[in-house]
Structure 1
Amino acid sequence: MVFFCFLVDTREMVRSSKPAAGICSRCGGGASVADMETATRFCYVPVYRRTWRAIICTFCGALLKSYYRRHLRRP
């Protein structure tokens, strides 16, 4: 008998962030612009990565606005 274990997960990580003007509509906290990276892994091996920019709340962590781009400059 052959046993297959398929383990797929997605991780979102903040690469860098800086303060932005505005407040969160949910909690009233401050906002920041963050460069995010989403990595999809299959059995703990990364198979797909996507870099994007988002405006997030610094207090509650809510995603307020996301900007998907094809090419973002990396620092």
Structure 2
Amino acid sequence: MVCFCFLVDQKKKIKASKPAAGTCSRCGRGAKVADMKTSTRFCLVPFYCRSWRAIVCSFCGSVLKTYR
């Protein structure tokens, strides 16, 4: 018997944020420090959640640096 399990989705959410000094290296706009949460679901079942801190651009949304 063979069972296949595919990655359905992985979502990143910003739980809280505050302004940070500096600018984005990609678009030149302001940056913010954000508490992030990543949720991974396999076959529509929540499988893994991780909380971490990152510096994120407030305009384009790119993650500039991460802290664990």
- Identity score, percent: 57
Return the letter of the residue paired with 1:16: A
Return the letter of the residue paired with 2:21: A
User: Whole-Å Cα distance in 2 between the matches of residues 14 and 44 of structure 1?
Assistant: 21
Matched, 1:47 2:35: no
3-state DSSP of counterpart to 2:17: strand
Structure 1's consecutive aligned runs of 4 or more residues displaced over 4 angstroms after TM superposition are 2-5
Tell me the TM-score normalized by structure 2. 0.85
**Higher relative contact order (Cα pairs below 8 Å, separated by 6+ residues):** 2
What runs of 5+ residues in structure 1 fail to find an aligned partner? 69-75
User: Whole-Å Cα distance in 2 between the matches of residues 29 and 66 of structure 1?
Assistant: 18
User: Whole-Å Cα distance in 2 between the matches of residues 7 and 14 of structure 1?
Assistant: 25
Of Structure 1 and Structure 2, the greater strand share is in 2
